[in-house]
A and B are shown apart, each in its own frame.
Chain A
Amino acid sequence: KNQVEQSPQSLIILEGKNCTLQCNYTVSPFSNLRWYKQDTGRGPVSLTIMTFSENTKSNGRYTATLDADTKQSSLHITASQLSDSASYICVVSDRGSTLGRLYFGRGTQLTVWP
Chain B
Amino acid sequence: EADIYQTPRYLVIGTGKKITLECSQTMGHDKMYWYQQDPGMELHLIHYSYGVNSTEKGDLSSESTVSRIRTEHFPLTLESARPSHTSQYLCASSDRGEESNQPQHFGDGTRLSIL
Contact among A43, A51, A102 with B90 in the assembled complex (CB-CB below 8 Å): A43
Collect the chain B residues with CB atoms within 8 Å of residue A105's CB.
42
A13, B73: Cα distance in complex, Å: 41
Of chain A, the residue at the smallest CB distance from B99 is A100
Given A104-B42, A104-B43, A105-B42, A43–B100 Cβ distance below 8 Å?
no
| Pairwise interchain contact B99-A32, C-beta atoms closer than 8 A | yes
Q: Which of B13-21, B64-72, B77-85, B105-113 contacts A (4 or more CB under 8 A)?
A: B105-113
Collect the chain A residues with CB atoms within 8 Å of residue B61's CB.
none
Contact among A41, A93, A99, A104 with B48 in the assembled complex (CB-CB below 8 Å): A99
User: Mask for A32-74, Cβ within 8 A of B = 1, else 0?
Assistant: 1010000001111110010100000000000000000000000
Given A41-B108, A104-B42, A93–B99 Cβ distance below 8 Å?
yes
Complex interface residues of chain A between 96 and 110 (CB less than 8 A to chain B): 99-102, 104-107
Of chain B, the residue at the smallest CB distance from A41 is B108
Indicate if B104 sits at the interface (CB-CB under 8 A): yes
Collect the chain A residues with CB atoms within 8 Å of residue B48's CB.
99
Given A31-B99, A32-B100, A99-B48, A43–B42 Cβ distance below 8 Å?
no
A105, B40: Cα distance in complex, Å: 10
| Pairwise interchain contact A46-B41, C-beta atoms closer than 8 A | no
| Pairwise interchain contact B42-A46, C-beta atoms closer than 8 A | no
Of chain A, the residue at the smallest CB distance from B107 is A43
| Pairwise interchain contact B99-A43, C-beta atoms closer than 8 A | no
| Pairwise interchain contact B109-A43, C-beta atoms closer than 8 A | yes
Task: Give 4 closest A-B pairs by Cβ, nearest first.
Answer: A43-B106, A100-B99, A46-B103, A104-B42
28 A-B pairs (CB sep. < 8 Å): A31-B100, A32-B99, A32-B100, A41-B108, A41-B109, A42-B108, A42-B109, A43-B4, A43-B90, A43-B106, A43-B109, A44-B43, A44-B104, A45-B2, A46-B103, A46-B104, A49-B101, A49-B103, A89-B42, A89-B43, A93-B100, A99-B48, A100-B99, A104-B43, A104-B44, A105-B42, A107-B40, A107-B42
